Amino acid sequence: MSTEILVCVLCRPAGTARELPRAGLALFEVVHEAGLRDGQPFAVRAIECMSACDRSCTVAIQAPGKTTYLFGGLLPTLAYANDVLACARLHESSPDGWMARECRPGTLREGILARIPASLALPQPGSLTAAPETA
Ligand code: FES
């Protein structure tokens, strides 16, 4: 399994008191714990900012050679965590990572901040080990 779930642990929705725990960290913990509970194979990575701070909380789903998604406006609840995990399963099952809106879990049908096509510049066999030509 290569799909990764990236959760910004620094996200703090606008207007949230600074002395309260960060909602992003809480979302990371609930996604991580729900994934462990369900035996999900996905890596859940804590990220410090994905430059969508005004749309807290943010989560990205990515895998090599597949479309990358960035979602915003998520809440640190089990319902959102379960939908993030369901979305990761959908992403994993899609050959190119494409996830149609109507197929995504309820809380992730809205709030897409970015849908980035997979890079076409994948390394070719041997290209990383080739020695530079000399004159
Ligand atoms: S602090 Fe979460 S995206 Fe910037």
Instruction: State in Å: Cα 7 to ligand 1 middle.
Output: 9
The number of the ligand 1 atom at minimal distance from the alpha carbon of 24 is: 2
pLDDT (0 to 100) of residue 132: 46
Entry pTM: 0.88
Cβ–ligand 1 distance for 27 under 6 Å, the answer no
> How far is the C-alpha of 41 from the C-alpha of 91, rounded, in Å?
13
d(CA 106, CA 104): 6
Residue 130's pLDDT is what? 44
Spatial CA neighbour of 113 closest among 78, 84, 72: 72
Domains of the chain: 4-116 (3.40.30.10)
pLDDT at 1 over 80: no
Which of helix, strand or coil describes residue 6?
Answer: strand
Cα–ligand 1 centroid distance for 94 (angstroms): 27
Instruction: Provide mean pLDDT across the span 66-95.
Output: 97
Strand partners of residue 5:
44, 61
**Segment (H or E) for 76:** none
